Amino acid sequence: MLRLHADVHGAAGEDEDLPHTAAGDWTPHVTLARRVRLADIAAVLPLIGGEIRARAGRLRRWDKRSATVTDLGGFDGRNENAGVPGDDDPVNAS
């Protein structure tokens, strides 16, 4: 995830990112569940299991300031050496 993030960040170019979103300062994470009530955490945690292996197929950017999500586009995540979308499916940050 760190390599993918650095590649996407580099391809997107300079912007007014928050310091913790810059390549090297970002904490990789995935959403495993949404809207789990605090009272249900103990019951949900064992469901996560061990290591999770996955490939990204679509990127989006959360902007906390405006509380909006920007779809950055999809790509073929099957190539383990590819960090960013190919020429046939470029990142669309607009």
Model confidence pLDDT, tens digit, residues 4-26: 788 877 877 777 767 777 888 87
Model confidence pLDDT, tens digit, residues 23-75: 888 777 777 788 899 999 999 988 887 777 777 778 888 887 898 988 888 87
The kind and range of the H/E element at 55 are none
Which residues, at least 6 apart from 56, have a Cβ–Cβ distance to it below 8 Å? 1, 4, 75, 77
